[in-house]
Homo-oligomer: A and B are copies of this chain.
Amino acid sequence: MSDPFQLDPRLAADTFLVGETPLSQVLLMNDARYPWLILVPRRSDVTEPFQLSEADQAQLWQESMRLGAAMKAHFASDKLNIAALGNQVAQLHVHHIARFHADDAWPGPVWGVGSAVLYSDPALEVLKGELRSLLQQPLSLTAAT
């Protein structure tokens, strides 16, 4: 298979691991201003989605679409932002951000706007509980094993 996967330390510092899909780690960005999940395929040394194998590309797309749809429904957001940028952290990661007309950055992108509002412990526990059921529903459909 591939090399042992190591999450980029900057991604690890800014996020919480909240789930695993067949291909990816699911990270929650520690910024209470936006419901913000990141898929990180467990593949070393990949920086662009088109560098993945065809099978991994198809899997990532499926995971991304199901995660995006589940987030939009669960959070009743006005829009989903889905993006693979990677300018600051090269390791391939795909942002999924539930956006609202009243959020801090609307209608701009969220990156570089103000400072993150860190989750309180109680708020984090509540959200993790919600995410646990959210991730089980749509993403378990993609279980590879």
Q: Measuring CB to CB, which residues of chain A are less than 8 angstroms from any residue of chain B?
A: 47-50, 57-58, 61, 65-66, 68-69, 72, 79-88, 90, 99, 106-109, 111-112
Contact = CB atoms under 8 A, between A and B. Distances in A.
B83 A68 contact: no
A88 B72 contact: no
As for how many copies of this chain the complex holds, the number is 2
**7 interchain residue pairs of minimum CB distance:** A83-B83, A87-B107, A50-B65, A50-B69, A61-B61, A81-B85, A82-B84
Q: Secondary structure at chain A's binding surface: helix, strand, loop or mixed?
A: mixed
A112 to B, nearest CB: 5
A125 B105 CA distance: 36
A87 B68 contact: no
Contacts of A49: 65, 68, 82
A107 B82 contact: no
A109 B107 contact: no
20 contacts: A48-B68, A50-B66, A50-B68, A57-B61, A57-B65, A58-B58, A61-B61, A79-B85, A79-B86, A79-B87, A79-B90, A80-B84, A81-B83, A81-B84, A81-B85, A81-B87, A82-B84, A83-B84, A87-B107, A109-B111
Nearest to A86: B79
